[in-house]
Amino acid sequence: MTAHASLNTQTSLLSRGMLAVMTAQFLSALADNALLFAAIALLKAGSAPAWQVPLLQEFFVIAYIILAPFAGPFADTLPKGRVMLIANGMKFLGAAAMLTDLNPLLAYGMVGLGAAAYSPAKYGILSELVAVDKLVKANSLMEGSTIVAILLGAVLGGWLADYWLAGALYAVAASYLLAATINLLIPRLPPSHPLSTFAPLAMCRDFIQATRKLMQDTDARFSIIGTSIFWGAGSTLRFLLVAWVPVALNIPDLSTAANLSGAVAIGIALGAVAAARWVNLRSINRALPAGVLIGLAIVAFAYSSNIYIAIAWLLLIGFLGGFYAVPLNALLQERGHESVGAGHAIAIQNLFENISMLLMMGLYILLSKQQFPVIPITVTIGGLVFVAIGTLAWLRIRQTGK
């Protein structure tokens, strides 16, 4: 047994390393979500057209796509705790740029650069800290911590953006700095798949080869496509809420949309807990029915006219999403760790997920610019998710025979 394997097997889910990873991730995710609503408030304060609000996400995900060939190798070549430190520093610069009156779209794109580097490290390190049989539980802990952060970040960000916008930006910047400090407590684990060169062309070739190898793996391909559909829809739904709330509920403030996105976060946390209890890597197909139902739940939510009914639907959407996506993430980490490296695998997943976000958000922006009503747009997104995940589930069951 290698030293790495021995460390991996003996590490507890509540070890110092895991606690440091989860705490830093909590603070960073809290800041990410508070900053989103602060950026939306900045655009509105500057009288930007309504279609520029979802454009924030396009600027954010472009960084993931551009850095896709480099983020995974970067995470696998250096100790992942140090990668997270560097990434949180970049996020801090983006938040500070908003305080200096840089265009919110450009500043949010800077935060996207940090997030693109951060993601492969924060998920890839789990397969280095815990044994394979604990991966789903480790992912559930990570998702649970992240979801609480999303909830608090959205609520606090929406509230501060309504009443004290500068305060929201200062709080976000401070959270990124604290997260970076906690990253120093993560053990300096040996790099999992170090590259011999950082030449851009060589890294692009390595990324293309890793993508081909990973996509040839049936389980990895299924996981990447499945999570991409879900997170593309989830990202779009968050921005749809900003436009949907004033129309469907006749509530004009920003904090209500932020609070409703928090309901999705609570649902995802509950779904992640349920997935840890009922799904493992050998029974991954149990997650499929929940995935198929996500699209139908979005369609039903679109026609809500009462805030409590809307909350109930959003909790259900989140629960279904958590039950569906968390096991698929664990499956990809396991397959990636065994083949191209967990950091590479998460970077490849990020590429596909963010292409999905780019396309779905692009569709939303296009329909919004054409002045389509927000409720039919929401129904369209829900229908696309139902058809896409339904097709994927049918193919998976046909392939595995169960």
pLDDT digits (tens, 9 = 90+) for 172-231: 999 999 999 998 888 777 666 666 666 788 778 878 888 888 888 888 889 899 999 998
305 phi and psi angles, rounded to 5 deg: -130, 5
Question: Which pLDDT band, with edges at 50, 70 and 90, does 12 fall under?
Answer: low
pLDDT digits (tens, 9 = 90+) for 13-68: 677 778 888 899 999 999 998 998 899 989 888 877 877 888 888 888 888 888 87
Residue 320 pLDDT: 95
Distance of alpha carbon 254 from alpha carbon 168, whole angstroms: 13
Any residues with CB less than 8 A from the CB of 190 and at least 6 apart, and which?
4, 79
If one compares 280 and 382, the residue with the highest pLDDT of the two is 382
Residue 137 pLDDT: 77
- The pLDDT mean for the chain works out to 84
Distance of alpha carbon 142 from alpha carbon 138, whole angstroms: 6
DSSP for residue 373: -
> In this model, does residue 10 exceed pLDDT 60?
no
Between 4-13, 69-78, 207-216, 340-349, the lowest mean confidence (pLDDT) is in 4-13
Query: What's the average model confidence in pLDDT over 127-145?
Result: 75
Question: Which pLDDT band, with edges at 50, 70 and 90, does 1 fall under?
Answer: very low
Q: How many helices (H) and strands (E) does the chain have?
A: 15, 0
Between 66-80, 173-187, 344-358, the lowest mean confidence (pLDDT) is in 66-80
Distance of alpha carbon 185 from alpha carbon 137, whole angstroms: 22
Question: Which pLDDT band, with edges at 50, 70 and 90, does 92 fall under?
Answer: very high
Residue 2 pLDDT: 39
If one compares 187 and 377, the residue with the highest pLDDT of the two is 377
Residue 202 pLDDT: 79
Query: Where in 340-390 does DSSP place strands (E)?
Result: none
In order of their start, the domains of the chain are 3-400 (1.20.1250.20)
Q: Which two tokens stand for residue 118?
A: 């951060």
Residue 70 pLDDT: 81
Residue 309 pLDDT: 95
pLDDT digits (tens, 9 = 90+) for 292-347: 999 999 999 999 989 999 999 999 999 999 999 888 888 887 777 677 776 677 77
DSSP secondary structure, 100-153, as one string? TT--HHHHHHHHHHHHHHHHHHHHHTHHHHS-GGGHHHHHHHHHHHHHHHHHHH
Residue 238 pLDDT: 86
